[in-house]
Amino acid sequence: MNAVHAVASATGAFDVAAIRRDFPVLERTIRGLPLSYLDNAASSQRPRAVIDAMSHYYENSHANVHRGVHTLSQEATDLFEGAREKVRRFINAKSIREIIFVRGTTEAINLVAQAHGRPNFGPGDEILISWLEHHANIVPWQMLCQQTGATLKVAPITQSGEVDFDAFAALLSPRTKLVALAHVSNALGTVIPVHRFITAAKARGVPVLLDGAQAVPHMKVDVQALDCDFYAFSGHKMCGPTGIGVLYGRESLLNAMPPWQGGGDMILAVSFDETVYNTLPYKFEAGTPHIAGAIGLGAAIDYLETLGMERIAVAELALLAYANEQLATVPGLRFVGTAPEKAAVVSFTIDRVHPHDLGTILDHEGVAIRTGHHCAMPVMEFFGLPATARASFAFYNTRAEIDRLVAALHTAREMLG
């Protein structure tokens, strides 16, 4: 496998040039211009170490896991379970029994809705979310409410894009059966001070699910320190593969939940009279899992840990500060989401230039950003906007890329403003 360039820099300064060489896609051009990939909140790119780990697995060790005694099956199982242990350590879960591999954050939340919510919730019960949520932390609860007669409650947000804590606390009631909150807003970048929200929920004995899709790639997450009950995240936003993600669940809760999908691997014994379900975490992993995906995710964790999550956070926040400063010089630019604590996400609009046109014009300059509603239509509605442009940064981005973004915005204004 190729050496990780960034390793050499791990002991010294954060060497972005070396880090960029670890990411093959960053070498490509768009219509002859270098790529500035500023759409990391939608999906990050992969270092060669992740791609190689997956290729190496397919070329050398692929077989089905948890089956058979032959060498390949053993190797595949060891690699797959090794990845689970990496995930456990990465988020500081107590046990690998609390680490369920799923397709991504969306599937993790649906799993909790169907396996925890559906058997336990009924008419009069309430699920409390916030106005900031991604559709993945709204729609599964709406579906659950339709199935059970429970009610969805939504804590409002402020003009700066923060969840209104007092309003949230006022919505907590004896009827509240679950709190489901974003850790970091995907549309605006707001870091929700989840400790405060979790403490308030716990005081009433309400379990808390955090949607960590936008948090795990950018900061150190410790599920025990957070004291949350469920934590969901995706591999592809943290330099890992698509199609793999994680549901962390507190063991006592997971044990009490029935399986949500039936099939192979999630059973101990099957007969037509009785089926005995497997133990955790396998009870929730029916069918052949995304083995290569889990291995790739493990490699992504190794890569991120080599750089250090604290150093990643520092580098990204420096990019955010620079972007805020430079974007503020663009006439007619309005920031959407101005919370004091943010991840490296900037959502904005420009007078008389629709975000969709910005997306096309920026693409022509080789700058990739997201435009639209960011799968958070209620957030857009709150700000009275059909869409925003969103630039989101990863540790491999540079100030020069932000300069190119700003220059392209000036071009867009000249063209359409």
Partner 1 sequence: MDLKDLYRDVIVDHNRHPRNFREIPDADRRADGFNPLCGDKLTVFVKLDGGRISDVSFNGSGCAISIASASLLTESVKGKTIPEAEDLFSQMHQLLTRDDIDIDVTSLGKLGALSGVREFPARVKCASLCWHTLDAALHQQEQVSTE
Please give the positions annotated as active site.
375
| Cβ(34)–Cβ(397) below 8 Å | no
Q: Assess 389 for contact with partner 1 (CB under 8 A).
A: no
Q: Residues 386, 399, 400, 410: which binds partner 1 (CB under 8 A)?
A: 386
Please give the Cα distance from 262 to 243 (Å, whole number): 19
Compute the least distance from the CB of residue 37 to partner 1, in Å: 17
Pick between residue 320 and residue 389 the one whose CB is nearest to partner 1. 389
Q: Assess 334 for contact with partner 1 (CB under 8 A).
A: no
Compute the least distance from the CB of residue 351 to partner 1, in Å: 12
Compute the least distance from the CB of residue 398 to partner 1, in Å: 25
Pick between residue 8 and residue 416 the one whose CB is nearest to partner 1. 416
Instruction: Please say whether the dihedral angle defined by the alpha carbons of residues 259, 108, 232 and 136, taken in this order, is positive or negative.
Output: negative
Binding footprint of partner 1, residue count (CB under 8 A):
18
Q: Assess 415 for contact with partner 1 (CB under 8 A).
A: yes
Compute the least distance from the CB of residue 410 to partner 1, in Å: 14
Compute the least distance from the CB of residue 375 to partner 1, in Å: 11
Pick between residue 293 and residue 359 the one whose CB is nearest to partner 1. 359
Pick between residue 237 and residue 374 the one whose CB is nearest to partner 1. 374
Task: Restricting to residues 287-316, name those near partner 1 by CB under 8 A.
Answer: none
Q: Residues 3, 170, 268, 416: which binds partner 1 (CB under 8 A)?
A: 416
84-110 per-residue burial string, b: 16 or more CB within 10 A, e: under 16: bebbbebbebeeebbbbbbbbbbbbbb
Pick between residue 112 and residue 369 the one whose CB is nearest to partner 1. 369
| Cβ(207)–Cβ(178) below 8 Å | yes
Task: Restricting to residues 342-381, name those near partner 1 by CB under 8 A.
Answer: 352-357, 360-361, 364, 371-373, 380
Compute the least distance from the CB of residue 367 to partner 1, in Å: 13
Task: Restricting to residues 9-38, name those near partner 1 by CB under 8 A.
Answer: 31
Please give the Cα distance from 208 to 202 (Å, whole number): 8
| Cβ(55)–Cβ(24) below 8 Å | no
Pick between residue 315 and residue 361 the one whose CB is nearest to partner 1. 361
Compute the least distance from the CB of residue 31 to partner 1, in Å: 8
Pick between residue 43 and residue 64 the one whose CB is nearest to partner 1. 43
| Cβ(70)–Cβ(403) below 8 Å | no
Cis peptide before 281 (omega within 30 of 0): yes
Q: Give the binding site for partner 1 (CB under 8 A).
A: 31, 352-357, 360-361, 364, 371-373, 380, 386-387, 415-416
